[in-house]
C-alpha cells in the first residue's frame, strides 16, 4: 500500500466535499421535482380563459395595475387558485389574455368571485365595459388529465 501524504489528503477533501454537496443537491432537486409532479390530480382542474380588448393603452394599463392587487391577494388568500396570469397578445398590443386555473369550478364561483380584492376590481372593469372601452370574451373548460402541468 502506498502511503498517502497529509498534503494530498488536504487537496482531496475539498473535492470530496464538492461531490457530496452536488450529490445532495441533485437528490433534493429530484425529490422536489417528483413531489410536484406526483401531487397533480389530472382532470380535476377547471380553467377560465378571458380575453379583454381595450380601446386605449391608458385604460389597459390602469386595469392591469389594478389586477396586480387582485393577483397579490389571490396568491396569499386563495390556495385553490393554481394559475393566475395575464399576457399581452402577440398580434394586438391592446388585447390581454388571462388564464385562471382553479382546483374546481365551485372554488371560482363560491370563493374567488367573492374575494375582497376581486370585488373591488370587478366594478372598475365593468365600468369600462359599459362605456365601450373594453370588450370581454371568454371560455372555460374542465381538464381531461391527458397532458401535464
Range of the domain at 3: 1-39
> Do residues 14 and 76 share a domain?
no
Q: How far is CA 103 from the centre of its chain?
A: 13
| Per-residue model confidence (pLDDT) at position 121 | 97
Determine contact, residues 51/92, Cβ cutoff 8 Å. Answer: no
Render pLDDT for 90-124 as a digit per residue (tens, 0 to 9): 999 999 999 999 999 999 999 999 999 999 999 99
> Do residues 116 and 59 share a domain?
yes
> Do residues 28 and 60 share a domain?
no
Render pLDDT for 39-81 as a digit per residue (tens, 0 to 9): 555 678 999 999 999 999 999 999 999 999 999 999 999 999 9
Q: C-alpha angle 82/84/85, rounded to 5°?
A: 140
Tell me: pLDDT of 36 over 50: no
How many distinct structural domains can be found in the chain? 2
Helix axis angle, 57-77 relative to 116-130, nearest 10°? 160
Amino acid at each position: 500500500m502506498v502511503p498517502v501524504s497529509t498534503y494530498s489528503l488536504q487537496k482531496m477533501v475539498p473535492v470530496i466535499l464538492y461531490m457530496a454537496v452536488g450529490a445532495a443537491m441533485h437528490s433534493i432537486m429530484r425529490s422536489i421535482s417528483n413531489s410536484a409532479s406526483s401531487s397533480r390530480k389530472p382532470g380535476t382542474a377547471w380553467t377560465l380563459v378571458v380575453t379583454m380588448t381595450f380601446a386605449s393603452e391608458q385604460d389597459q394599463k390602469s386595469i392591469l395595475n389594478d389586477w396586480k392587487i387582485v393577483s397579490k391577494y389571490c396568491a396569499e388568500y386563495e390556495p385553490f387558485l393554481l394559475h393566475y396570469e395575464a399576457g399581452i397578445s402577440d398580434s394586438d398590443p391592446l388585447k390581454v389574455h388571462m388564464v385562471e386555473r382553479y382546483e374546481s369550478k365551485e372554488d371560482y364561483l363560491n370563493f374567488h368571485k367573492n374575494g375582497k380584492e376581486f370585488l373591488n376590481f370587478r366594478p372598475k372593469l365593468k365600468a369600462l365595459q359599459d362605456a365601450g372601452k373594453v370588450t370581454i370574451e371568454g371560455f372555460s373548460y374542465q381538464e381531461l388529465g391527458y397532458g401535464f402541468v
